[in-house]
Structure 1
Amino acid sequence: MLYQFMEYQCALLAPFAAWAASAANAFADHNSPLSQVPGAPALAAGYEMLYRLGKTYDKPTFGIAAVQHNGRVIPVIEQVVLDRAFCRLLRFAADPLALGADTCQPRPAVLVCAPLAGHHAVMLREVVQALLPEHIVYVTDWTDARRVPLAEGPFHLDDYVIELQAFIRQIGSSEQLHVLAICQATVPALAAISLLASADEPTPRSLILIGGPIDARCSPTAVGRLAADHTLAWFQRNLIYTVPGRYAGAGRKVYPSFLQLAGLAAAQPGLLVASHQDYYLELARGDYERAEAYRRVCDTYNAVLDMAAEFYLDTIRIVFQEFRPARGNWFVRGQPVRPQDIRTTALLTIEGEHDAISGSGQTHAAHGLCRGLAARDKRHVTARRCGHYDLFCGPRWHSEIYPGIRALIRQATASALGSGS
Structure 2
Amino acid sequence: MSVPSSPLYSMFELNHAALQPFRAMANMGLSFWASAANPLRDTSMGRQATAALTMFERATRRFAKPSFDIPETQIDGKAYLIDEQVAWETPFCKLIHFGKVDLRAKQAKLLMVAPMSGHYATLLRDTVKSLLPHFDIYVTDWQDARDIPLSAGQFDLDDYTDSVITMLHHLGERAHVMAVCQPAVPVLAAVSIMAAKNDPLAPLAMVLMGGPIDTTKSPTAVNKFADGKDLDWFRQSAIMKVEGPHAGHGREVYPGFMQLGGFISMNLDRHLKAHRELYCDLVDGDEQDAARHERFYDEYMAVMDLTAEFYLQTIERVFIHQDLPHGTYAHRGVMIDPAAITQTALLTVEGERDDISGLGQTEAAHELCKNIPADKHKHHLQMGVGHYGVFSGSKFRAEVAPMIADFLNAQKP
Structure 2-normalised TM-score?
0.93
Q: Which moved more, 1:399-408 or 1:26-35?
A: 26-35
Q: Distance in 1 between matches of 2:108 and 2:35?
A: 45
1:129/1:284 Cα in 2 relative to 1: closer, same or farther (>3 Å)? Answer: farther
Match for residue 199 of structure 1 among 197, 200, 205: 197
1:406/1:272 Cα in 2 relative to 1: closer, same or farther (>3 Å)? Answer: farther
Q: Which moved more, 1:113-122 or 1:40-49?
A: 40-49
Query: Following TM superposition, by how much is the alpha carbon of 1:231 offset from its aligned partner in structure 2, in angstroms?
Result: 1.4
Matching of residue 26 in structure 1 with residue 32 in structure 2: yes
Q: Distance in 2 between matches of 1:74 and 1:275?
A: 36
Match for residue 57 of structure 1 among 32, 53, 63: 63
Secondary structure at the aligned position of 1:264 is classed as helix
Which residue number corresponds to residue 145 of structure 1? 145
Which residue number corresponds to residue 114 of structure 1? 114
Which residue number corresponds to residue 384 of structure 2? 385
Which residue number corresponds to residue 372 of structure 2? 373
Give yes or no for contact 1:24–1:46 (8 Å, CA) kept in 2. no
Q: Distance in 2 between matches of 1:159 and 1:194?
A: 15
Give yes or no for contact 1:88–1:143 (8 Å, CA) kept in 2. yes
Structure 1-normalised TM-score?
0.92
Cα displacement string for residues 25-71 of structure 1 (whole angstroms, at most 9, x for unaligned residues): 43333244442444534432222111111111111111111223333
Query: Following TM superposition, by how much is the alpha carbon of 1:239 offset from its aligned partner in structure 2, in angstroms?
Result: 0.8
1:26/1:289 Cα in 2 relative to 1: closer, same or farther (>3 Å)? Answer: farther
Cα displacement string for residues 132-167 of structure 1 (whole angstroms, at most 9, x for unaligned residues): 122111111111110111111111111100000001
Q: Distance in 1 between matches of 2:124 and 2:13?
A: 28
Which residue number corresponds to residue 13 of structure 1? 19
- Give the root-mean-square deviation of aligned CA atoms: 1.8
Query: Following TM superposition, by how much is the alpha carbon of 1:279 offset from its aligned partner in structure 2, in angstroms?
Result: 4.3
Q: Distance in 2 between matches of 1:167 and 1:297?
A: 30
Query: Following TM superposition, by how much is the alpha carbon of 1:400 offset from its aligned partner in structure 2, in angstroms?
Result: 2.5
Question: Superposed, which structure 2 residues align to 1:204-283 within 5 Å?
Answer: 204-269=203-268, 272-273=271-272, 275-277=274-276, 279-283=278-282
Which residue number corresponds to residue 188 of structure 2? 190
1:333/1:2 Cα in 2 relative to 1: closer, same or farther (>3 Å)? Answer: same
Whichever residue aligns with residue 303 of structure 2, its letter is V
1:271/1:83 Cα in 2 relative to 1: closer, same or farther (>3 Å)? Answer: farther
Query: Following TM superposition, by how much is the alpha carbon of 1:189 offset from its aligned partner in structure 2, in angstroms?
Result: 0.6
1:158/1:375 Cα in 2 relative to 1: closer, same or farther (>3 Å)? Answer: same
Q: Distance in 2 between matches of 1:290 and 1:373?
A: 46
Give structure 1 stretches of 5+ with no counterpart: none
Which residue number corresponds to residue 66 of structure 1? 72
Q: Distance in 2 between matches of 1:18 and 1:411?
A: 56
Which residue number corresponds to residue 134 of structure 2? 134
1:74/1:18 Cα in 2 relative to 1: closer, same or farther (>3 Å)? Answer: farther
Matching of residue 322 in structure 1 with residue 328 in structure 2: no
Give yes or no for contact 2:144–2:306 (8 Å, CA) kept in 1. yes
Aligned length: 406
Q: Distance in 1 between matches of 2:228 and 2:298?
A: 32
Secondary structure at the aligned position of 1:207 is classed as strand
Which residue number corresponds to residue 93 of structure 2? 87
Q: Distance in 1 between matches of 2:270 and 2:120?
A: 17
State percent identity of aligned pairs.
Answer: 38
Q: Distance in 1 between matches of 2:280 and 2:140?
A: 34
Give yes or no for contact 1:119–1:304 (8 Å, CA) kept in 2. yes
Question: Superposed, which structure 2 residues align to 1:301-380 within 5 Å?
Answer: 301-380=300-379
Give yes or no for contact 1:183–1:213 (8 Å, CA) kept in 2. yes
Secondary structure at the aligned position of 1:184 is classed as coil
Cα displacement string for residues 95-138 of structure 1 (whole angstroms, at most 9, x for unaligned residues): 12xx4xxx23x211111111111111111110011111221111
